[in-house]
Structure 1
Amino acid sequence: MLTLIFGLSIDSSIGRADEAHLPEQARMELFIDNLHEADKRQFLDNENFYLPYEVWAGVKTDAENHVTSITWRNIFRHEGSLNVRFLSHSVTFLQATGCALHSGISLEELPQSLESLYLSDNRLMGVANLTSLPDGLKFLYLGTNHFTGEVCLTNLPSGLVTIHVSENRLTGPIVITNLPASLKMLAIEKNFCSGSLDLDCLPLSLDRLFLSENHFSGELCLTHLPRALRYLSASDNRFSGSLDLTCLPEAMLGLNLSNNAFSGSLDLSSLSHNLLRLYLMDNQLSGQLCIHGLPEHIRTLHLEVNAFQGNIVFGAIPIGLVEISISKQRGAKLCDLDGEAFFDERIHVVY
């Protein structure tokens, strides 16, 4: 077992009062104390003593030698964990991505100074407690881990800009009606979250919302989305009911609602003028399909594997559109607004 320079051990003998007075060197050594011995070697000299933390890879300090930033990407190869309770109160940036970290992590023990936390691509597990994060936290990346249980999004830091918890094992309902006003991205795709979602009270600043590959259900209202929203992905869920696409934000560039159970007729005549990509395949949309009045800059339109009836009517197709993918019943025809046969090599018909 490697000994610490200051002769400390990470046991209950270190009280909270003692921690506050620990030297910076001791804090950093205790911070990595639960890493695998092989991974610690990069922080040791030839005699197996810890190097000064100022020369550790990825560690930055200020003029007074206080640690301000730690950036570790793919530098640990063996299972281990970090003791975040010993992080210096001067640290504003912590990244440990792709570092084979496992076991739980006590997010409530992070220093109040922290503004950015990147812990994606590890094997962190347990419940992700987001209710006691540092008040000044702006960027939170916990994606591609093994976090489980429900996640609470109702008591987050007021200045949070990004929440990324995709590709975990989160379950239960998600409440997104009281998110921070500053939030620009919320990513919770590829989990097992369920229940209905209310999109009527999202932050006005929200730019990207990723909800795909969960178990969300119920109707999805798209008529009161934030004006700044550019990307919304809610594919591969269990949403149902009708779709109203007539009030999408003008800023919207991409909308993916494929592989759900949306039904009813579809109005494509009043889409956002800036929309580039629209994915509605694998639903239960029905009625006659009229592809007319599409946005000038749209490039991709996927409507295949639905239940549209009758002939498919086309108006003018924008020059920049690369592909339209549709399904039609046998015997149904593609025709223009005057009922004449219509052909365009960009149209891909799926039977």
Structure 2
Amino acid sequence: MHSCCARKIIVWILCLIFSLSHSILVCGSSPPKHLCRQDQRDALWEFKSEFPLSGMAADEKTQTWRNNSDCCSWDGITCDPKTGNVAELNLWGSSLNGPLRSSSDSIGDLKYLRVLGLSGCNLFGKLPSSLGNLSDLTVLELDGNGFTGELPVSIRNLKQLTKLLIASSKLSGNFHQALLNLTELTAINLVFNQLEGTLPSNMSTFSKLEYFNVGSNSFSGSVPSSLFMIPSLTYLNLERNHFNSLLEIGNISSPSKLQTLILGGNRLSGPIPGFISKLVELSSFDLSFWDTLRGDVDFSIFLHLKSLASLDISTLNTRSIVDMSLFSHFESLSILSLSRNTVKFSSTLHLVSPIGSLAVASCNISEFPKFLRTQTSLFNLDISQNQIKGNVPAWLWSLPGLAYVDFSLNSFTGFDGPADVFQRNEIYLLDISSNAFKNPFPLLPKSITFLSASDNQFSGEIPTTICQLDSLETLVLSNNNFSGSIPRCFEKFNTTLTVLHLQNNSLFGKFPEESVSVALISLDVGRNQLSGELPKSLINCTHLEFLNVEDNKFNDTFPFWLRLLPGLQILILRSNEFHGPIHYPGVFLSFPRLRIFDISKNLFSGALPLDYFSGWNAMSSDVYIADNKYMFKRNTFSSFNIASKGLEMILAGISFSIYKTVDISGNRFEGEIPKSISLLKGLIVLSMSNNAFIGHIPPSLSNLTNLESIDLSRNRLSGKIPAELRKLTFLAWMNFSYNNLEGPIPQGTQIQTQDSSSFLQNPGLCGAPLHKICSGEEQGTLNQDKEDEEEEQVLSWIAVAIAYVPGVFCGFIVGHILTSYRHDWFKRIFHYFS
């Protein structure tokens, strides 16, 4: 019996071993099977072939794709393990660089995609309608590209879509009505685009929406109350648009889950609505730039928001005073922005919640707030634009987390404590500009990356202790009394310093070649006494956008090598001793992004070829598109002079992005005015005065339809003033004096408003505004000009009439029909059209 059982057990074990061995052999001998389907691989390969950089080192993800390999193993590709269909295409941050071609169905053929992620891939052009073929898509993520135009109508087919993320692009048009069909959406992010119009009133159709961000667009009208009726919504950002009506919200039926509400930077006005007190889950709230029309604000509505961690109520335009004691009992408040209101601090103020960031710029504060002494969590303090005098207290630097400090635009004169008082902290940003600080220059912690000490009373040589700052990226010392030379130790910042502004001091000597950082984006050493040649090491600054060396003693030829800097936008060499030609045969001087070119008041000479201004693309467009990341957020540190409308004016701030200027006046140029100047259609200021130009004024200057100021005075120009210049309706100032011009002055509105001084010392000129009467033949030309102008005006009136008469006729017919029906029919029609 026992031996029989033993035999059965042995047989069973042997069968089991044989079975396992067979399985192992079968598995081990089976050839590998590709998971990827052929049609899916073909679609991906076609998608890759659309981009010329695919397969190159610049496109580090798709270069791993091989047509004979399993596409499910390719970088950025995820497949459904059961079907082999490509379920996810995610190439975030790769360098595809091109359009998603509407003529290609490669994207549309990946019809089983659930996730399409192409953020930051340098894509541009319109979004292809083939996206609508991806009916299974749940996530569409295209942030940080250059897509233009509207969303395709076919997007309405993406009924499964839960996340639509196309932030930081160039989409235009209205908020697409097709989106209202996508009821599964939980997140919409269209921030930083060029969208406009109004938001739909029925936003509550997004019944599952949790995240909605359309900030930094151009939406206008009212904020739809239906947004606040979405029960799932937790994040709502409408900042920096043009919403302008009163914010009116009906009764909120269920407790709101809204945790983030950002409305700042719009045109909202009137009383702050009381319904805000019902948003009890809010942790982040931004009402900045709300206009209360100088009304009173009941700040007690914020007391109900006990979960607040961040509050921005800066720039309310209210006569009410913000009492800091209002925030005494908030337990979670960490970020508080009250700038540009009147703020009151009591001497016994105590805040329960540790403040991490406090902004009280321009709040009529005259004393340093003492309650800050207990704020050991403070890392950011903006107390700029107030009336605080005396010294900065030493105890401030004992706050262990303090990292970002802005004291600018006050009346501080010094720092309390020992010379190394700053060494106790790791300060990253320090702005002490526009005060009355004097020597000694403070010893700064090595951690500083941003230092602005402009517009003070520091003197002597630039302290070499600055060279001990290991991580310095921005250094602004303009408008002080510094003297001596630029420190050679600046070579330490060869790869870190991006902004160096030393404008308006008394620095002299040569600019050391080794002190030029290859990382420079903005360099301003204007209004000093620097001499010698322009440092040629600037040729290595491939990111340079702004270069100003005005009002120095540089003695050099024209720096042709600057044309190799692809991002250069502002070049100012005025008032130096530069000399020689600005053109050499065979050297094509193309500045594709240059918008301000000022080489006036130098010793440049020679003739300019007719095509000299060809290839200056940024000035050839009458639209400005900010295509840089740095300059216009740093331009507040710089200013420079330009000649416009016969006056010297200072450009600073927003003016940098508005003006497009060519000023070559005050040199020794000769020959004819290059006809290619007429290609610069975006030009606002043109000055070519005080040279030796000959020949006629090009009639093609009438192409410069944005021109506001033109100065061709003090040359040797001859012939007539072109009648075509009458078309320049923005031209507010012109100067043709001291030339050899002749004939009648054209009879145009802009021309006739000029003072006679604009035409003096041209012996052959006649007609208003000069007192010289034209001869018979000249008068005939003058009359013909006048007739031409009147004919243009008549044609304009005829065009208006042609449009007006049918409108009046249609209006009459509609009015007759409406009055022919009963009153209720009128109401129905009115309701339909409204």
Separation in structure 2 between the aligned mates of residue 170 and residue 334 of structure 1, nearest angstrom: 49
* Pairing partner for 1:325 from 572, 575, 581: 572
Q: Is the 8 A contact 1:61 1:69 kept in 2?
A: no
Separation in structure 2 between the aligned mates of residue 237 and residue 190 of structure 1, nearest angstrom: 10
1:258 alignment partner in structure 2 = 503
2:454 alignment partner in structure 1 = 212
Change (3 A) 1:249 1:165: farther
Correspondence 1:272-287 to 2 at 5 A: 272-286=517-531
Q: Deviations over 1:171-220 (max 9, x none)?
A: 23685762454322111112222223256x4332x221111111222211
2:296 alignment partner in structure 1 = 39
Q: Is the 8 A contact 1:236 1:258 kept in 2?
A: yes
Q: Aligned to 2:571, what secondary structure does the other structure show?
A: strand
Q: Aligned to 1:124, what secondary structure does the other structure show?
A: coil
Structure 2 letter corresponding to 1:193: F
* Structure ranking higher in strand proportion: 1
Q: Is the 8 A contact 1:254 1:278 kept in 2?
A: yes
2:202 alignment partner in structure 1 = none
Establish whether residue 167 from structure 1 lines up as the match of residue 409 from structure 2.
yes
* Pairing partner for 1:297 from 520, 523, 543: 543
1:126 alignment partner in structure 2 = 367
Q: Is the 8 A contact 1:189 1:214 kept in 2?
A: yes
Structure 1 letter corresponding to 2:428: K
* Structure ranking higher in helix proportion: 2
1:239 alignment partner in structure 2 = 482
Separation in structure 2 between the aligned mates of residue 107 and residue 243 of structure 1, nearest angstrom: 48
Change (3 A) 1:211 1:266: same
Change (3 A) 1:334 1:291: farther
Structure 2 letter corresponding to 1:325: I
Q: Is the 8 A contact 2:377 2:401 kept in 1?
A: yes
Q: Aligned to 1:149, what secondary structure does the other structure show?
A: strand
- Deviation of 1:236 (Å): 0.9
Structure 1 letter corresponding to 2:433: E
Q: Deviations over 1:286-336 (max 9, x none)?
A: 3x214312122222221111133x444747323323343225666844699
Q: Is the 8 A contact 2:322 2:341 kept in 1?
A: no
2:436 alignment partner in structure 1 = 192
Structure 1 letter corresponding to 2:303: Y
What's the Cα RMSD here? 3.7
Structure 1 letter corresponding to 2:525: L
1:88 alignment partner in structure 2 = 329
Q: Deviations over 1:128-160 (max 9, x none)?
A: 559825222111111122212221357331211
- Deviation of 1:281 (Å): 0.4
Give the stretch that moved more between structures: 275-284 or 175-184. Answer: 175-184
Q: Is the 8 A contact 2:572 2:599 kept in 1?
A: yes
Q: Is the 8 A contact 1:148 1:169 kept in 2?
A: yes
- Deviation of 1:282 (Å): 0.5
Structure 1 letter corresponding to 2:328: L
Separation in structure 1 between the aligned mates of residue 528 and residue 569 of structure 2, nearest angstrom: 22
Change (3 A) 1:270 1:93: closer
* TM-score between the two structures when normalised by the length of structure 2: 0.31
- Deviation of 1:278 (Å): 0.4
Find the structure with the greater CA-based Rg.
2
* Pairing partner for 1:115 from 356, 373, 383: 356
Q: Aligned to 1:239, what secondary structure does the other structure show?
A: strand
Larger RCO (alpha carbons 8 Å, 6+ apart): 1
Separation in structure 1 between the aligned mates of residue 435 and residue 423 of structure 2, nearest angstrom: 19
1:14 alignment partner in structure 2 = none
Give the stretch that moved more between structures: 109-118 or 178-187. Answer: 109-118
Q: Aligned to 2:430, what secondary structure does the other structure show?
A: strand
Correspondence 1:40-55 to 2 at 5 A: 41=298, 43=300, 53-54=303-304
* Count of matched residue pairs: 291
Establish whether residue 348 from structure 1 lines up as the match of residue 598 from structure 2.
yes
Separation in structure 1 between the aligned mates of residue 442 and residue 468 of structure 2, nearest angstrom: 10
* TM-score between the two structures when normalised by the length of structure 1: 0.69
Percent identical residues? 20
Separation in structure 1 between the aligned mates of residue 486 and residue 578 of structure 2, nearest angstrom: 27
Structure 2 letter corresponding to 1:348: D
Change (3 A) 1:112 1:150: farther
Q: Is the 8 A contact 1:231 1:253 kept in 2?
A: yes
